[in-house]
Structure 1
Amino acid sequence: MKIRSYQTGDQDALIALWDECGLLRPWNDPYLDIERKLGVQPELFLVGVNGDQKIIASAMAGFDGHRGWVNYLAVAPDKRRLSLGRQLMNEAERLLIERGCPKLNLQVRTGNLEVLEFYRKLGYVQDDVVSLGKRLIQDQQ
């Protein structure tokens, strides 16, 4: 897998990957998520492509000056267990460290035990915090 930054022509294939991986939610418009990310640290919007340049993985990283974040980590279901997710996370971590990021935070949906185990194997531990959120802009009516 080759890892590169997102390119404009990637949009439809990337959203199809996210859909295939079960990452889409009705309250988040993926087109708007991509548009927003392209306005903030687009170089941290990573895609993994195979030899045919087909998108098989993604990670949307960011650094707010205090913590790093990764969203939309996805690996095509037929490409899992090949260390592609690990490769993407390693690249995201490397890019965040370059920017002076001291800690990377993740949010994993409750009950997603397979993903929690994936991150545990990468050295992530559960913090003793409660994640809170407040929608400021409604993507869907």
Structure 2
Amino acid sequence: MTELAGGGGAVGDGLRIRAFEVADTERVVALWRSTGLVVPWNDPYRDIERKLAVQPELFLVGESAGTVVATAMVGYDGHRGWVNYLAVDADRRGERLGALLMTEAERLLTERGCPKLNLQVRSTNEGVIEFYRRLGYQVDEAVSLGKRLIPDGPARS
């Protein structure tokens, strides 16, 4: 049962999935750092600020016993859905928290009429690629290209 309206709801295994709140910022950034998602060319604080300006209700936090244990930054541009910053606390891996967040992301995108969900994984991250394969995702025969329009510089500490 997921019920994000009105503050969120419990979802199996004591996980509550809800929308991000500004008070979560430091806990979320700490989780991202501990899981290796923060890279020098992306400032996580700026990424959070940017997400809060666009579909903030799709920035998901998984909370258990008052602790942020998982996140997913979801978006829909009218053509495709995207997931970024899917993170699960290392001590909670294997509990299907990532799968629960992805199920919620898919539900929210389907509600909005999103026909396809895309995500990017570093090609060297075989464990994460296998995680998504188990959820039914396939490697698309496409090349991901990118161009930085606004440089972030080094991430804030």
TM-score scaled to structure 1, two decimals?
0.98
Matches of 1:23 and 1:102 in 2, distance apart?
A: 27
In structure 2, the residue corresponding to 1:92 is in which secondary structure?
A: helix
2:5 aligns with: none
1:99 aligns with: 112
4+ runs deviating over 2 angstroms: none
1:83 aligns with: 96
- Say which of 149, 152, 156 aligns to 1:136: 149
Q: State the shift of 1:82 in Å.
A: 0.2
1:36 aligns with: 50
In structure 2, the residue corresponding to 1:136 is in which secondary structure?
A: coil
* Structure 2 residues not aligned, in runs of 5+: 1-14
Matches of 2:40 and 2:153 in 1, distance apart?
A: 7
Supply the AA of the counterpart residue of 1:94. Answer: R
* Structure 1 residues not aligned, in runs of 5+: none
Matches of 2:72 and 2:107 in 1, distance apart?
A: 13
> RMSD of aligned C-alpha atoms?
0.6
1:60 aligns with: 73
The total of aligned residue pairs comes to 140
1:46 aligns with: 60
- Say which of 123, 126, 130 aligns to 1:110: 123
Q: Output one character per residue of 1:62-90: Cα deviation in whole Å (capped at 9) or x when no partner.
A: 00000000000000000000000000000
Q: State the shift of 1:134 in Å.
A: 0.1
Q: State the shift of 1:110 in Å.
A: 1.2
Matches of 1:126 and 1:103 in 2, distance apart?
A: 13
In structure 2, the residue corresponding to 1:82 is in which secondary structure?
A: coil
In structure 2, the residue corresponding to 1:66 is in which secondary structure?
A: coil
2:135 aligns with: 122
